[in-house]
Structure 1
Amino acid sequence: MPLIRRIKDFAKSTLPDSIFLSLLHRKYVGRFPNLRRPTTFNEKILRRSMDPDPRYVPLTDKLAVRSYVSEKLAQKYLVPLIAAPVAFTRAAFDALPASFVMKANHGSSFVEVVRDKSQTSFERLQHLTEQWLQTDFYKVSRERHYSKIRPRIFFEQLLLDERGKLPPDYKVHCFRRGNAQPVMYISVISDRFGDTTRGDIFDVGWNRLDFVIGYYSPSEEPPGAPPNLAAILDTAKTLSEGFDYVRVDLYAPGDNIYFGELTFTPGAGVLPFVPDRIDYEWGRLLRE
């Protein structure tokens, strides 16, 4: 790593969380956040990143959360777990099936899709494993609940749809006010690990909404509603019980519904909205 880069990284690591996050928010959202009296969605997410609910730790841990999902729903909603080895050894690699997904439990984007094991190698995956396990995800985005998760590697069954492609990722944003019915929006990420990744936002009636979250461009032709849309929404509703806001990620290949993850601080509170007014509108929905 070049010396200047190391100096910059060290300087950033010494900043207090509030300053680090404020600078990050300014860079990606375009303004400094009001952390004393937050009004936007991103500002409120930043606040909870710095003062997280203790429940976030086990429910953000992608291995530990499986118990919660099994208790709230049923085992069938979990992507079949192939292995969660204490150490990734040659023997662990040899025991893996021809296709699988390798993940780490302690952060975002630790995902490696392996469609054909013969096209990769133990050495390559071992190197990737070491990189992931050595990453303190708290230091990446200062979401404090991640600092309490012990890093682990695990392997899940590779899910494919009827076309042999990865199924869309349904990210259901669930806002709750007490015992009232949740307000839900569905962010659909298509072809996530391909060359034409797209992101579309829908309401519960599957009307595409004219705004963008994050960095994925919308599809030219919006994807059709999944046949099990009602079941997807019911699943998200059940898993979001007891929280004023949580994003519930689901997959729905065929007639099945599989759990992906729970996210309480999406985008680490520095997620751009286009148009910007949606950041304020969602901020009014999130009443902590």
Structure 2
Amino acid sequence: MAIGKTLVKRALDYLPDSAYLLIAHRRKVGRFPNLRRPTTFNEKILQRCLHPDARFVELTDKIAVRDYVRRTIGEEFLIPLIASPPTFTREVFDALPSAFVMKANHGSGFVEVVRDKSRSSFEELQRLAQRWLATDFYRVARERHYRTIKPRIFFEELLVEPSGIIPADIKLHCFFGRGRAKPTVYIAVISDRFGEHPRGDMYDANWNRLDVDIGHYARSPQPAPRPESLERMLSVATSLARDFEYVRVDLYTIGERIYFGELTFTPGAGVFPMTPDSMDYEWGRLMNQPLLHGDRR
């Protein structure tokens, strides 16, 4: 069975991007996408994967995007950057504080939380960093705007709440659609992401929990209390998203402070099953029709 899966994966690796995404969408979402007249959210995200806006490259790069955030909403929303060295050496490791987060700028999931450096080693982190740097993230899901991002390792301050837990990922899906002045916003909250029982919940902009499942995450037993900073989070996300028909803005909050995480233009690479399936169509209606023949901007 494992050999069969490996052979299938190798065969898929040789397919053109459009064919690869057609098959991936069919396998994961359950139907073949209509790329000529996309209607669902996933279909329109597939179009973005194949015909990305030229701006996506800089704003997807997790180091370069910091300049955009600084210009748009201010330095105070950035997680403090400890180091972004050209290479990760023992000298860099020795200079790091006792707690930090190691990340790579050119893809998703490249995150290593280090709560106590004395329990880690340079060699261990270097092996992980080298594996990340050797990953061509474009080849993972054929999101073409990742092709020209130069891989880098960087280190940020570890954010923790007073209780010691890492704050939840607050992912604000911002839909401006056809030039609307005010976006429609859905808020996905991933809590305890690095713990034993991660949870995923979806809310509307008024913090009403929705009957929606998020990927493989189980829902929380009870809705989270409405954040005191909700209106400010919505304002921050709107400011960062206003030039796009759709973008997901990831934020973190600790007390009154709001921190920027990342901008994501092709979440799930267009092959992300949504439950209920009607959300795929609803979110698709909120987006503009994507470009079919490259970027006109």
Report TM bin, short chain: over 0.9
Gaps of 5+ in 1: none
SS class of match (1:22):
helix
The code of the aligned residue for 2:272 comes to L
Q: Which residue of 2 aligns with 1:252?
A: 253
Identity %: 60
1:204 aligned residue = 205
Q: 1:211 to 1:4 in 2, by over 3 A?
A: closer
**Aligned partner of 1:217: which letter?**
A
- Deviation (angstroms), 1:4: 6.2
Q: CA deviation at 1:226?
A: 1.3
Aligned residues: 287
Matches within 5 A, 1:63-142: 63-142=63-142
Two-structure CA RMSD over aligned residues (Å): 1.2
Give how far 1:180 is off.
Answer: 2.1
Query: Which residue identity lines up with residue 77 of structure 2 in the other structure?
Result: Y
Amino acid paired to 2:238:
K
Question: Distance between the aligned counterparts of 2:13 and 2:186, measured in 1?
Answer: 35
State the match for 1:166 in structure 2: 166
- Report the equivalent of 2:278: 277
**Matched residue of 1:201: which SS?**
strand
Q: Deviations over 1:113-146 (max 9, x none)?
A: 0000011110110000010000000000000000
Task: State the partner residue of 2:157.
Answer: 157
**2:214 counterpart residue number:** 213
Matches of 2:87 and 2:204, distance apart in 1 = 43
Distance between the aligned counterparts of 1:5 and 1:214, measured in 2?
Answer: 22
Is the Cα–Cα contact under 8 Å of residues 206 and 225 in structure 1 kept in the other structure? yes
**SS where residue 82 of structure 1 aligns?**
strand
Deviation at 1:8, TM superposition (A): 4.0
AA aligned to 1:255 is E
Q: Distance in 2 between matches of 1:130 and 1:11?
A: 26
Describe the SS at the equivalent of 1:113.
Answer: strand
Q: Secondary structure at the match of 2:210?
A: coil
Larger deviation: 217-226 or 243-252?
217-226
- Give the direction of change, closer, same or farther, for the CA distance of 1:202–1:127 in structure 2 (3 Å limit): same
In 2 relative to 1, CA 175–13 (structure 1 residues): closer, same or farther, beyond 3 Å? same
Within 1, Cα distance between the matches of 2:264 and 2:227?
A: 22
One-letter amino acid matched to 2:218: S
Q: TM-score, normalised by structure 2?
A: 0.94
- Which digits, 9 at most, give the CA deviation of each residue in 1:183-227, with x for residues without a partner? 001000100111111110111111001111322111111111111
Displacement of 1:28 = 1.2
Give the match for residue 191 of structure 1: 192
Of residues 191-200 and 2-11 in structure 1, the stretch that sits farther from structure 2 once superposed is 2-11
- 1:49 aligned partner, one-letter code: C
Q: Unpaired segments of 5 or more residues in structure 2?
A: 290-297
1:36 aligns with: 36
